[in-house]
């Protein structure tokens, strides 16, 4: 009668839990805390290095006010006539500030189209120059420029076809330098002396180096860009924004900001922008006065001629008529004529101004025309009153009117000319510089603390992501319960042994592409108190009951994939059973890559393959070991047809004889999913155990391997979970506990 009370029982498969196990994920993070810390530290260090090596960007700012202004007309402000006020548009001034007209003058004043760039060391060159690190003596003669070495440019003029092409200045001894043109091949243009104006390439290049503080061999690159490119580059660095005010309110206060890598150049350039904007605004205001003054200067000679003609005509008539006295009525009419003509004359000047701005259909233009028609109608009425006077009186009135009106208009024009001359001389424009440009003391970019914090956070998130993704993708078995859910009982959970790692060495044969790990000793002999050996002793006890109902004393140990510890379990289980007084034979049936012989310090030749091929006998194939009661059969030389050899009657006869001569026969086989050898061997063994490696073999592999053996008629008795580690992921996720007892 078979005693099954102590044998592990098969449990029914349970449905797969696809939910995320938060405890396991937290355990994964704890297991890989040092990896996470390492990656986070590397990113933090990279952030610090970048923050130190990155080129600092400085910012200068200035404040400009755009005030309201009124347009100038030659005979008065139209706003006074029509009750309107002209206001400067702030948005228009912003566009003027960023126009090529203003920025182009700044480029010319500051020389922004010319760049001097020192040759620098890779990566750290800018840092070395900014920190003023002196050139070491062993670095003399190299082109890289170190701290406190510089080139001050006095003048550089190049032909248009050479703009944008780099010129290389190489320092030489004695205050001299060599100039080359960079291209597909460097073209040497000649030599020059510091402080002197030199001409190169038939006058296409004129260069004066004001100062050169660098040892011989140091190089600088000079580039004179196209003027339009320099303007665009300056515009990309300039920002103009209105300060204060509500949604619809305009304060006229403009904040100008300019960024750049050179703190001094940034402040100088922004000051030049503000000054140029102010200058062009004054010139624009003065231009309006110039235009009005030119109009009046054109009218003045004509009015002077008309006045002289009218006075001569009046005097001649008085002489002919021997003087004619004017009545009080006639004098009043003349005074009214003068007032009307002055007003009409002013409207004509204003009409000339409006004709340059508006069409005749504009409401302002129409209003002026209506006033003009009204005054002309009044003048016609006066002419009608004059026609009622005596003939002599009429002629005197007309000629006196011409003199008085022309004289009043002429005097008015002269007064306006004087006013415009004074206005032109004192024009200040409607732009004021409130705050001149001031550069920031510290760079605005890069933001070093922020970069370090972001790099550290990025490194931490990346490390956590890598650990979690690897943990989620690597779905290897992590607990005995998972194996039992597939219907296989777990006979032993073998912890990962540190002592066993010391017995592993790498071996590479000529025919192998990669080296393989082999065991060079028996753990049960080297460290009999190891926890892994204790687990195998428990397996020996369980096997005693599990094999009671088997038809023979043969035990096959196999697994789904290679490298999971089948040979380790086979050799050490055999040693433990032999130490308990049994006569044990270990057979290496992996005739392809078996390495049981390495554990006993022997070679593979003269083993199972020679026995099955008839080249040796059973006694010749069986080898003794240093452990009493333990013998083994090596795999032999690798045959071309191992599966066919296992199907021969010789193999069956060998197993029968081994079963008679030994108490226990343990057979190590190749992986189930790789070849069919395990199915052939299992068909002749009463007991089969499947080795599964912790976090390596997924449950899917285990199920497929079990199904493949069952299809071949081999029943897997149970499983061995090998290389079990105490990890936080398994402790939180599955509650695995491992104890040692000494």
Distance CA 518, CA 600 (A): 11
Higher pLDDT, 665 or 323: 665
pLDDT for 402: 73
- Arithmetic mean of pLDDT, 337-364: 77
pLDDT for 4: 36
Joined together, the tokens standing for residue 617 give 């006998």
Question: Does 385 score more than 90 pLDDT?
Answer: no
Asked whether residue 420 falls in the same domain as residue 349, the answer is yes
Question: Does 737 score more than 70 pLDDT?
Answer: no
pLDDT 10s digits, 688-703? 999 999 988 999 999 9
Please give the share of the chain, as a percent, with pLDDT higher than 90: 50
Task: Tell me if 11 is assigned to some domain.
Answer: no
Question: Does 14 score more than 50 pLDDT?
Answer: no
Asked whether residue 645 falls in the same domain as residue 594, the answer is yes
Higher pLDDT, 92 or 571: 571
Question: Does 80 score more than 50 pLDDT?
Answer: no
Task: Report the range of poorest mean pLDDT among 124-133, 382-391, 663-672.
Answer: 382-391
Q: Which of 252, 631, 263, 191 is nearest to 439 (CA)?
A: 263
Task: Tell me if 586 is assigned to some domain.
Answer: yes
Which sign, positive or negative, has the C-alpha torsion 107, 109, 112, 113?
positive
At residue 382 the predicted structure's pLDDT band, cuts being 50, 70 and 90, is: confident
Q: Which of 440, 442, 515, 465 is nearest to 270 (CA)?
A: 440
Question: Does 488 score more than 70 pLDDT?
Answer: yes
At residue 274 the predicted structure's pLDDT band, cuts being 50, 70 and 90, is: very high
Asked whether residue 488 falls in the same domain as residue 415, the answer is no
Question: Does 72 score more than 90 pLDDT?
Answer: no
pLDDT for 337: 73
Please give the share of the chain, as a percent, with pLDDT higher than 70: 83
Asked whether residue 597 falls in the same domain as residue 725, the answer is yes
Question: Does 536 score more than 80 pLDDT?
Answer: yes
Question: Does 213 score more than 50 pLDDT?
Answer: yes
Asked whether residue 608 falls in the same domain as residue 559, the answer is yes
Distance CA 722, CA 694 (A): 6
Task: Tell me if 230 is assigned to some domain.
Answer: no
pLDDT for 424: 62
- Arithmetic mean of pLDDT, 359-381: 82
Q: Give first-to-last CA distance, the chain, whole Å.
A: 38
To the nearest whole number, what is the mean pLDDT of the chain? 83
Q: Tell which of 375, 402, 431 closes a domain.
A: 431
pLDDT for 42: 96
Asked whether residue 202 falls in the same domain as residue 333, the answer is no
pLDDT for 16: 43
Task: Tell me if 268 is assigned to some domain.
Answer: no
**Are the C-beta atoms of residues 28 and 732 closer than 8 Å to each other?**
no
- Arithmetic mean of pLDDT, 606-634: 94
C-alpha 350 chain-centroid distance = 61
Q: In CATH, what number is assigned to the domain containing residue 587?
A: 3.40.50.300
DSSP 68: -
Asked whether residue 293 falls in the same domain as residue 191, the answer is no
At residue 8 the predicted structure's pLDDT band, cuts being 50, 70 and 90, is: very low
Asked whether residue 601 falls in the same domain as residue 727, the answer is yes
Distance CA 29, CA 461 (A): 12
Q: Are strands 584-588 and 630-633 parallel, antiparallel or unpaired?
A: parallel
pLDDT 10s digits, 703-719? 999 999 999 999 999 99
Most confident of 84-93, 288-297, 595-604: 595-604
Higher pLDDT, 730 or 535: 535
Question: Does 84 score more than 50 pLDDT?
Answer: no
**SS3 of 258-301:** EEECCHHHHHHHHHHHHHHHHHHHHHHHHHHHHHHHHHHHHHHH
**Are the C-beta atoms of residues 678 and 672 closer than 8 Å to each other?**
yes
Task: Report the range of poorest mean pLDDT among 20-29, 31-40, 123-132, 618-627.
Answer: 20-29
Q: Which of 233, 236, 235, 238 is nearest to 223 (CA)?
A: 233
Asked whether residue 218 falls in the same domain as residue 323, the answer is no
Task: Tell me if 5 is assigned to some domain.
Answer: no
Joined together, the tokens standing for residue 98 give 């960023």
Distance CA 177, CA 168 (A): 10
Q: Tell which of 179, 196, 224 closes a domain.
A: 224
**Are the C-beta atoms of residues 611 and 636 closer than 8 Å to each other?**
yes
- Arithmetic mean of pLDDT, 586-609: 91
CA atoms within 13 A on the CB side of 376: 8
Question: Does 415 score more than 90 pLDDT?
Answer: no
- Arithmetic mean of pLDDT, 528-550: 89
pLDDT 10s digits, 427-450? 566 788 899 999 888 899 999 999
pLDDT for 6: 37
pLDDT 10s digits, 189-210? 999 999 999 999 999 999 999 9
- Arithmetic mean of pLDDT, 349-355: 74
- Arithmetic mean of pLDDT, 514-530: 82
- Arithmetic mean of pLDDT, 126-142: 88
Joined together, the tokens standing for residue 342 give 């002055």
Task: Tell me if 169 is assigned to some domain.
Answer: yes
Asked whether residue 499 falls in the same domain as residue 554, the answer is yes
Asked whether residue 654 falls in the same domain as residue 524, the answer is yes
- Arithmetic mean of pLDDT, 280-284: 79
**Are the C-beta atoms of residues 608 and 633 closer than 8 Å to each other?**
yes
Task: Tell me if 249 is assigned to some domain.
Answer: no
Asked whether residue 654 falls in the same domain as residue 519, the answer is yes
Domains contained in the chain, number:
4
Joined together, the tokens standing for residue 449 give 């603390």
pLDDT for 509: 55
Task: Tell me if 250 is assigned to some domain.
Answer: no
pLDDT for 69: 57
Distance CA 289, CA 568 (A): 105
Q: Which residues of 512-550 are buried (b: 16+ CB within 10 A; e: fewer)?
A: eeeeeebbebbbbbebeebbbbbbbbebbebbeebbeee
pLDDT for 458: 96
pLDDT for 20: 63
pLDDT for 307: 75
- Arithmetic mean of pLDDT, 241-254: 75
pLDDT for 309: 82
Q: What residues make up the domain containing 594?
A: 477-734
At residue 587 the predicted structure's pLDDT band, cuts being 50, 70 and 90, is: very high
């Amino acid at each position: 009668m078979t005693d099954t009370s102590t044998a592990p029982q098969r449990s029914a498969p349970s449905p797969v839990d696809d939910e995320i196990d938060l405890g396991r994920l937290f355990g994964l993070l704890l297991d890989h805390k040092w990896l996470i810390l390492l990656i986070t530290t590397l990113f933090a260090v990279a952030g610090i290095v970048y923050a130190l090596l990155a080129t600092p960007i400085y910012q200068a700012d200035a404040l400009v006010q755009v005030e309201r202004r009124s347009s100038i007309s030659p005979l008065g402000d139209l706003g006074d006539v029509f009750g309107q006020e002209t206001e400067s548009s702030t948005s228009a001034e912003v566009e003027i500030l960023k126009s090529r007209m203003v920025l182009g003058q700044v480029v010319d004043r500051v020389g922004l189209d010319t760049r001097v760039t020192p040759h620098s060391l890779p990566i750290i060159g800018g840092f070395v120059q900014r920190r003023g690190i002196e050139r070491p003596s062993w670095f003399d003669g190299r082109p890289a420029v170190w701290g406190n070495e510089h080139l001050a440019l006095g003048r550089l003029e190049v032909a248009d076809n050479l703009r944008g092409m780099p010129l290389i200045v190489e320092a030489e001894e004695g205050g001299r330098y060599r100039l080359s043109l960079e291209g597909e091949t460097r073209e040497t243009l000649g030599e020059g002396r510091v402080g002197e104006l030199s001409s190169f390439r038939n006058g296409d290049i004129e260069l004066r180096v004001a100062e050169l503080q660098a040892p011989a061999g140091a190089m600088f690159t000079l580039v004179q860009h196209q003027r339009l490119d320099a303007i665009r580059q300056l515009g990309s660095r300039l920002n103009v924004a209105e300060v204060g005010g509500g949604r619809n309110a305009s304060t006229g206060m403009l904040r100008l900001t300019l960024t750049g890598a050179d703190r001094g150049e940034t402040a100088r350039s922004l000051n030049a922008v503000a000054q140029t904007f102010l200058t062009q605004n004054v010139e624009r205001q003065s231009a309006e006065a110039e235009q009005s003054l030119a109009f009046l200067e054109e009218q003045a000679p004509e009015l002077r001629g008309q006045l002289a003609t009218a006075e001569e005509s009046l005097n001649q008539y008085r002489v002919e008529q021997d003087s004619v006295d004017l009545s009080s009525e006639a004098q009043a009419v003349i005074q009214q004529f003068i007032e009307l003509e002055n007003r009409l004359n002013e409207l004509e000047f204003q009409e000339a101004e409006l004709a340059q701005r508006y069409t005749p259909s504009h409401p302002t233009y129409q209003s002026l025309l209506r006033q003009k028609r009204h005054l002309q109608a009044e003048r016609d009425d006066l002419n009608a009153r004059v026609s009622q006077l005596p003939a002599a009186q009429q002629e005197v009135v007309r000629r006196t009117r011409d003199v008085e009106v022309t004289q009043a208009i002429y005097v008015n024009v002269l007064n306006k000319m004087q006013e415009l001359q004074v206005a032109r001389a004192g024009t200040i424009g409607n732009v004021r510089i409130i705050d001149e440009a001031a550069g920031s003391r510290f760079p605005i970019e890069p933001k070093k603390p922020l970069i370090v914090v972001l790099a550290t956070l990025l490194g931490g998130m990346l490390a956590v992501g890598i650990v979690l993704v690897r943990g989620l993708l690597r779905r290897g078995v992590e607990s005995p319960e998972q194996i039992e859910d597939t219907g296989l009982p777990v006979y032993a959970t073998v912890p990962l042994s540190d002592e066993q790692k010391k017995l592993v060495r790498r071996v590479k044969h000529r025919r192998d592409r990669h080296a393989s790990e082999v065991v060079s000793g028996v753990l049960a002999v080297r460290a009999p108190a190891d926890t892994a050996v204790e687990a195998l002793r428990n397996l020996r006890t369980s096997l005693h009951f599990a094999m009671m109902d088997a038809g023979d004393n043969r035990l096959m140990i196999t697994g789904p994939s290679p490298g999971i510890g089948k040979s380790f379990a086979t050799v050490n289980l055999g040693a433990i059973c032999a130490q308990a007084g049994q006569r044990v034979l270990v057979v290496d049936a992996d005739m392809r890559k078996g390495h049981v012989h390495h554990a006993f310090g022997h070679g593979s030749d003269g083993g199972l393959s020679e026995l099955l091929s008839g080249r040796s006998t059973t006694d010749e194939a069986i080898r003794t070991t240093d452990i009493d009661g333990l013998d083994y059969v090596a795999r032999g030389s690798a045959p071309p047809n191992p599966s066919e050899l296992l199907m021969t009657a010789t193999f069956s006869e060998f197993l029968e004889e081994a079963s008679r001569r030994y108490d226990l026969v343990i057979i190590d086989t190749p992986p189930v999913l790789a070849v069919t050898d395990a199915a052939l061997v299992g068909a002749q063994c009463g007991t089969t155990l499947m080795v599964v490696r912790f976090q390596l073999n997924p449950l899917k592999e285990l199920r497929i391997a079990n199904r493949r053996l069952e299809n071949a008629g081999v029943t897997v008795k149970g499983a061995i979970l090998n290389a079990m580690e105490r990890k936080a992921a398994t402790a939180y996720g599955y509650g695995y506990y491992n104890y040692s007892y000494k």
